[in-house]
Amino acid sequence: MDLFLADLVSGGYLLDCGEDELPRAKELAQKYADLPLGFTDAAVAACAEANGKRVLTLDTRDFSVIKKETELTILPA
């Protein structure tokens, strides 16, 4: 984890989302507060909406619920 974060800080990887997606992440987290969605999954969904609408996850429980609203493609299918 430390090496990955160091690579992010040094520009080794670029994130395709950021503070522009925070309001949408907050909206999703609040709307689906009855799920154990949490902010992290809501942020992943918001970032995916802004960048191709695809999410790679093995935890489909929460993403499958918000899939209709966000039009996400859950991978692997």
Residue 8 within a domain: no
Q: How far apart are CA 72 and CA 3, in angstroms?
A: 30
* SS3 assignment, position 74: strand
Q: How many CA atoms lie within 13 A of 48 on its CB side?
A: 22
Mean local confidence (pLDDT), 41-64: 90
Residue 54: per-residue pLDDT: 92
Identify the pLDDT of residue 21: 92
Q: Evaluate whether 46 touches 71 at the Cβ level (below 8 Å).
A: no
Q: Region 36-55: what's the mean pLDDT?
A: 90
Domains held by the chain: number: 1
* Structural domain that includes position 68: 19-75
Report the chain's mean pLDDT, rounded to a whole number.
86
pLDDT at 28 (0 to 100): 93
Res 9: pLDDT: 81
* Structural domain includes residue 4: no
pLDDT value of residue 25? 92
